[in-house]
Amino acid sequence: MKFPLLVISLIILFINPASISAHFFPNITSIPASLIPNGTGWEAFNSLLGCGRGMKVGGLAKLKKYFQYFGYLNSSSADFSDEFDDPFESAVKIYQLNFNLDTTGVIDAPTLKHIVQPRCGNPDVVNGTSTMRFGKPSNTNSTIHTVGHYSFFPSRPRWPDSKSELTYAFLPENQVPETVQSLFSRAFDRWSEVSPLTFRQITSFRQADIKIGFFSGDHGDGEPFDGVLGTLAHAFAPTVGRLHLDNDENWVIDGNFITAAPLSAVDLESVAVHEIGHLLGLGHSSVEEAIMYPSIRSGVRKVELANDDITGIQELYGSNPNFNGSGPVLTPRQERDSSSGHSLSGHVVLFIVVVGLFSLLFV
């Protein structure tokens, strides 16, 4: 009876594996209609259009919590009212300055447009200081003088020179398919092309310098995810090495958004390149073309480093000796033939084992 029980157990494991993959989709057309929301949680803020100092409007307390989450309001405040008070007006003005908007201090249409966009969960303001708009001279060896708006974490943490090769691994429970592993490899390559850093994937999650995982809701780091859209991912400064992505997003692998994309389609490689920037020590930038800009609309692909990103990472680590300042040299994205986000390799092996055991029992 031992063999039949073992076979039954393996069949149950095959049909209903304990480890569940994130929502990976090969393209936008493969996202089921049931996973496409009618709206996002932040769209409720649209009812606050036109709010300004002295007004009291229902829903402002929730918007204040949004501003607190991203560092614009004092993190020690536990309760917020629906009153548009002076501290909130100051927070709105800093937000508008960071996102290159008119500093009206009013929740106007351009400000709301940015507020409701999906974005990185890392704060824009740290310990009361915003660095997104601090102008820094860049290209000092060039006759063309530009201003950089890249930023760093407080105290400018970086990986030590002895760790020029960083290893990374995926949380085993996520069952990350090979297509997604290749996607992350390309995302790491974009940073190694312009810096001395190199990256190597290993199988040991515990021993990796960088640990990548997909999680839902509260996952134990004090920064819970909020479901589809909203905050997409967050990453920790060197040398913590943790990169967390929202398991509930509809992650698109091929990045082809030429046709109209569903509201919830998020380009995974774009988010990966951004979060790797945080892992290496970069904060957010006010340059909208930069990878390190905090937000990205659904259905948008942005994977090429801008000059602001390159200057920032090279200030921390120096340049790749082979980098000549030209555009990206990564080979074009290869076509991917996949109809499911789940990794099939483990399932195929398990199926072969089950078939083999059946043959032993009944031959």
Q: How confident is the model over 213-267, as pLDDT tens digits?
A: 999 999 999 899 998 889 999 999 999 999 999 999 999 998 777 666 667 889 9
**Annotated binding-site residue? 254:** no
Q: How far apart are CA 314 and CA 272, in angstroms?
A: 19
pLDDT at res. 358: 42
pLDDT band at 60 (very low <50, low <70, confident <90, very high): very high
One-letter amino acid identity for 46? N
**Annotated binding-site residue? 309:** no
- Asked whether the whole model's pTM tops 0.85, one would answer no
pLDDT at res. 166: 98
Q: Which residues pair with 147 in a beta bridge?
A: 137
**Annotated binding-site residue? 221:** yes
Q: How far apart are CA 66 and CA 75, in angstroms?
A: 11
The structure tokens 């927070």 sit at 91
- Min mean pLDDT across 85-94, 125-134, 199-208 is at 125-134
pLDDT band at 30 (very low <50, low <70, confident <90, very high): confident
- 3 state SS of 126: strand
**Annotated binding-site residue? 312:** no
- 3 state SS of 208: coil
Domains and CATH numbers, the chain: 2-21+343-362 (no CATH), 41-117 (1.10.101.10), 159-317 (3.40.390.10)
Catalytic site includes residue 275: yes
Q: What is the pLDDT of residues 273-303, one digit of tens each?
A: 999 999 999 999 999 999 999 999 888 999 9
**Annotated binding-site residue? 292:** yes
| Percent of residues, the chain, with pLDDT higher than 90 | 64
| Catalytic-labelled residue, pool 43, 89, 173, 275 | 275
